Structure 1
Amino acid sequence: MNKTSLRNVLAVSMTMVLGGCMVGPDYHRPEVSAPPQYKELPGWTAATPSDDAPKGDWWKAFNDPLIDELEPQVAVSNQTVAKSYANYQAAMADVQVARSALFPTIGLGGSASKQRSAAGNAGSGVEHLSPVSTSGSLEGNVSWAPDLWGKVRRTVEENKATAQASQATLANATLSEQTALATAAIDLRVTDANIDLLQKTVDAYKEYLRVVDNQGKAGTVAPSDVITARTQLESAQSKLIALGVSREQYVHAIAVLVGKNPEELDIPHNATLPTLPQVPTGVPSTLLQRRPDIAVAERQMASANAAIGVAIAAYYPSISLSGAEGFSQSPLAGLLHVANHVWSLGADVSETIFDAGARHGQVAAARANYEAAVANYRGTVLTAFQNVEDDLSGVRILAQQAQVLDAAVKDATRGAEIAFNEYNAGTVDYTTAAVAQTTQLSTEQDALNVQQQRLLDAVSLIGDLGGGWSAEELGHGAVAVGPGKGSP
């Protein structure tokens, strides 16, 4: 093939490549059914401005200094996040590798050798060595397989979508670990509050036991009353001690979430509960852009769609062009002289004629994988709606329960006071007073547990709404975690 022919082939190839010829279906995100409002929100809920949604440091809405201090460390030191970041970087590198196939490969090579041979008259048996000869060559080469059918571009599209899915996976892992930290911190605060409640109860029971014991020594009450009061105190003391185990476990969990060894973190006792925030929800359709796990499923779907084009491209012939130009000379002196100039051009065309249905099977598999990705995407969306509805119902119902329990705590506290006064007056036995005191403690713990669950549901709701993340961040280098940044 001469230079003119090669140039013609190259021109036609570039025209087809630049013209955007790509086999396989172009990607369009499938529609999913999104209700106009959440079931748990009464009346019509219009779209709220995105500025109302939690953004960035969403945990600050809880006004807890421990959470504010530790949450930023999750994105930097948490090992689950670090793993997801490394996977994202690997996916980015795959995009770079795929893109490189769109461009020619250029190489440079050279060689040099020395040789000497024996020469002489075979009949006379006299031989002598010829002079040493030096030869060498210097050559540049270019090879390129034009992407006539879009296989390389579909591969780039596939890898880019995979990289974006990895980026969303990173965001999802970060959000998941951040919500886990907030949950552990809330559990720790509630445990400290429960410790204070039990310590107050133990102190009260000690006073009750002192009164009953004095009356027992005076013979005015039955010995069983003293035993009942002592058992009641010991039971409360046992529960107080047991809370120490839970507290240490929460501290250890928090340490691991921020990338520390358990013994490196010491959190002082603090029974002040975080503030219960008001979380705006928007409308269900906004969830499709706000949850990173939905973005993961959507980008996996786009990647699977591009893989169909890659598989279809196998039906078409492949063309590769090559060229070499350089100098070759023996002896080496004057290697770069124009008289020693050499060049070559070539083109290869290959096409599979028969493969016993292999390409058909590959295309069918790619289409089936895409359908599976579509089902996964729609299932992820449905699960997301379910998560938010669960959170909203929990927020609503627990608010009602909290009101009832507040009244119950007041009544139980008053009932315990009356029962003990009646015991001192001799109108009831100590069992009646003990039951009233146990009821008071149980009711106070129930109220504390409901407060805890309301806070946890608020964390869950923020997480299920995406924590302020947006799918618009994909592909724009908006990765605020790990040692570096990048975008596919």
Structure 2
Amino acid sequence: MSLSRPLLRRSFVVTLISALLSACSTLPPYQRPTAKIPAQYAGAAPGWAQATPADTAPRGPWWTIFNDPVLNQLEARVDVSNQTVRKAVAQVQQARSMVDYQRAGFFPTITAGAAQDRSRTSQNVEGKSLAGKTVPDYSGGVSASWEPDLFGRVRDTVTGARADADASAADLEAVRLSMSADLAVDYFALRSLDTQKKLLDDSVSAYGAALKLLQQQLKDGAIDASAVAQATTQLEATRTQDTDIDVTRAQMQHAIATLIGEPASTFTLPPNGSAAMPPAIPVGVPSQLLERRPDIAAAERRVASANAQIGVAHAAFFPDLVLSASAGLESTFFAPWLSAPSLFWSLGPQLVGTLFDGGKRTASLHGATAQYDGAVADYRQSVLVAFQQVEDNLSALHSLADEAASQQRATTAADLSLRLTTNRFNAGAVSYLDVVTAQTIALTNQRTADQIAARQLESSVLLLKALGGTWHDQRDGATTPDVAAARTATGPVTTSAAEASTTLATEPAAQPTPKPAGT
């Protein structure tokens, strides 16, 4: 017993010194990489709201800004059923389990076991008392080993794992944002097709009624067959466009089904021809983009992880201290195995360091430093791409607002031209070819107006995605001049081509009968 006390005393001193030295760390001080941030967005014209959201405020369901209940219901299913999101969730859980795995390095490892074996020493070996004898051995014991974190190797590893877990969590938010944005883009594209489908359905009905009227006039000898042929061509060409819309809409519907995690064959979305309006989007200031974008947050966390790996590489240059202890019972015979004389134990520290490794540790340090530099470059590239995406969609929204305004004027003029041409045809002043031409121009302009409105919605969604998700503007109900202009530019057309064609079909019989073409 007197021999064990000095050993225990020395072990205590070693442990105390190790605890004091554990405060040492080779981890370089981490600073967030700098990136060039503009003072304001170049595409943000005066009148855009400058919101000031807190970084910790929840982003919430950004798609509710469009005030579409069906879209809200679909978006709610993305987080639950989308398989890409579920994979990202699993990756976050895996990264967090790795933090726990690395944190276990702070604690000792304790093992226990029991064994029974029989051994025989060769009888031809001299100098051994057990030569030629078979000896049983019963043993059981507990052993413990602990490597104090003298130079922060474990701590740096845990820091890197925690940064990786944070990056995975940011990746999850980026996936959620991307999937929800893809769903919104597909949804509004489908709604735009519904609007165009309704326009083409109305046009087919109106053209069909006009064709019946012309066929009757042909029987009466009031017109020649060319007018009927022109009306038939117009009707069938429009019907072809109408059918082609069904193909594209089905594809959009299938894409939405995949995004919400449902088989395409079991998912249907009823048509809705009502047009949505682009919302007012407060863009904030550029510096806030670094806080809201999950992909930028993930890139920054990976820089922190790479910085921690430099600390791990530095720690490899220092020795490792291992404290180990074991105790148990061992006996040749089973009967006295559990008695006091069968006790054995050992206790002692071990200091191990690498003297020469041919430059392996130096190469690891250089590699960790290069990995850090690459992570910094990725972070800055993510920032540049983020600003580019914001500016792209701001420019697109401004240009589309002007484009929608001019297209509205073109559509109104085309509708007026159609009405006037129809009246002139009914008065016998022009041939039906002029009516067909006016119908084509009016229908094309209306479809173009609908397509511009769809592009405005798509750019709004992409802007929200580029901003990292929207937040509630503190000025409730505020409408910016840009959005107000966009809403005016994409307002409903007063008179459609289909309505103008119906005017032809329902013209009173008292109107003068047009002369056959070519007379």
TM-score normalised by structure 2 residue count: 0.82
The residue aligned with 1:319 is 321
1:485 is aligned to none
CA contact (8 A) 2:50 2:282 kept: no
Among 213, 226, 230, the residue aligned to 2:228:
226
Instruction: Determine the C-alpha separation between the residues in 2 that align with 1:328 and 1:47.
Output: 78
Give the residue type in structure 1 aligned to 2:73: E
Separation in structure 2 between the aligned mates of residue 31 and residue 178 of structure 1, nearest angstrom: 30
- Seen in structure 2, the aligned counterparts of structure 1 residues 452 and 154 have a Cα distance that, compared at 3 Å, is same
Q: Return the match for 2:11 from 6, 9, 31.
A: 6
Distance 1:115 1:393, change over 3 A: closer
Gap change, CA 1:341 and 1:240, over 3 Å in 2: same
Q: Is residue 36–residue 45 contact of structure 1 (8 Å, CA) maintained in 2?
A: no
Q: Which residue of 2 aligns with 1:242?
A: 244
Structure-2 residue corresponding to 1:90: 94
Alignment-mate amino acid for residue 275 of structure 2 = L
Q: Tell me if 1:41 matches 2:28.
A: no
1:73-472 → structure 2 map (5 Å cutoff): 73-112=77-116, 136-333=138-335, 335-468=337-470
| Identical residues among aligned pairs (%) | 39
Q: Which runs of 5+ in 2 are unaligned?
A: 1-5, 122-132, 472-519
1: CA distance, partners of 2:44 / 2:260: 36
Counterpart of 1:41 in structure 2: which amino acid?
Answer: A
Correspondence for 1:486: none
AA matched with 1:413: D
Deviates more, 1:48-57 or 1:271-280: 48-57
Deviation at residue 87 of structure 1 after TM alignment: 1.3
Offset, 1:369? 1.1
| Match of residue 26 from structure 2 | 23
Moved more, 349-358 or 451-460: 349-358
Q: What is residue 69 of structure 2 aligned with on the other side?
A: 65
Q: Which moved more, 1:371-380 or 1:268-277?
A: 268-277
User: What per-residue deviation string (whole Å, max 9, x for no partner) do you get for residues 4-47 of structure 1?
Assistant: 32222221111111x2x111412111111111211112359895
- Say whether the 8 Å CA contact 1:186–1:273 is kept in structure 2: no
CA contact (8 A) 1:191 1:243 kept: yes
Conserved 8 A contact 1:179-1:463: yes
Q: 1:214 to 1:44 in 2, by over 3 A?
A: closer
Deviation at 1:172, TM superposition (A): 0.6
Give yes or no for contact 1:64–1:275 (8 Å, CA) kept in 2. no
For the structure 1 residues 111 and 351, does the alpha-carbon distance in structure 2 shift closer, same or farther, using more than 3 Å as the test? same
Pairs aligned (count)? 454
Q: SS state of the match for residue 316, structure 2?
A: helix
Secondary structure, counterpart of 2:28 in structure 1: coil
Mapped partners of 1:288, 1:116: distance in 2: 72
Structure 2: which amino acid aligns with 1:30? P
Residues 45/238 of structure 1: CA separation in 2 closer, same or farther (3 Å cut): closer
Tell me the SS of whatever aligns to 2:106: coil
Q: Give the Cα–Cα distance (whole angstroms) in 2 for the partners of residues 112 and 425 of structure 1.
A: 115
Asked if the contact 2:50–2:283 (Cα under 8 Å) also holds between the matched residues in 1, the reply is: no
Q: Distance in 1 between matches of 2:135 and 2:109?
A: 34
Residues of 1 paired with 2:67 and 2:470: CA distance? 17
Please tell me the residue identity of whatever aligns with 2:283: T
Deviations 1:262-319 (A, max 9, x none): 1121111211233422111110000001011101111111111111111122211122
CA deviations 1:72-127 (Å, max 9, x no partner) are 1111110111111111111111111111111110112223468999xxxxxxxxxx
The one-letter code of the counterpart of 1:416 is L
Q: How much does 1:138 deviate? A: 3.0
**Residues 54 and 147 of structure 1, relative CA distance in 2, 3 Å threshold:** closer
The secondary structure found in structure 2 opposite 1:39 is coil
The question of whether the paired residues in 1 share the 8 Å contact of 2:421 and 2:434 is answered with yes
8 Å Cα contact 1:61-1:275 kept in structure 2: no
Q: Deviations over 1:159-182 (max 9, x none)?
A: 111111111111111111111111
- Matched residues in 2 for 1:345 and 1:228: separation? 104
CA RMSD across the alignment: 2.4
Name whichever of 41-50 and 166-175 sits farther off.
Answer: 41-50
Shift of 1:222: 3.6
Q: Deviations over 1:307-363 (max 9, x none)?
A: 111112221112212111223344444545444332101333222222222222111
| Counterparts of 2:313 and 2:277, CA distance in 1 | 55
Gap runs ≥5 in structure 1: 118-129, 470-488
Separation of aligned partners in 1, 2:48 and 2:338: 79
Work out the CA distance in 2 between the residues paired with 1:387 and 1:114: 74
The 1-side partners of 2:451 and 2:310 are apart by 52
TM-score (norm 1): 0.87
Shift of 1:458: 1.2
Rounded to whole Å, the distance in 1 between the matches of 2:386 and 2:206 is 47
Offset at residue 49 of structure 1 (A): 2.7
Structure 2 SS opposite 1:42: coil
Contact 2:146 2:322 in 1 (8 A): yes
Q: Quote the residue 1:478 is aligned against.
A: none
Give the whole-Å Cα distance in 1 for the aligned partners of 2:36 and 2:107. Answer: 42
Question: Contact (CA 8 Å) 1:88, 1:163: kept in 2 or not?
Answer: yes
Aligned to 1:55: 59
SS in 2 for 1:413: helix
Instruction: Give the residue type in structure 1 aligned to 2:64.
Output: K
Q: Deviations over 1:430-450 (max 9, x none)?
A: 222111111110110111011
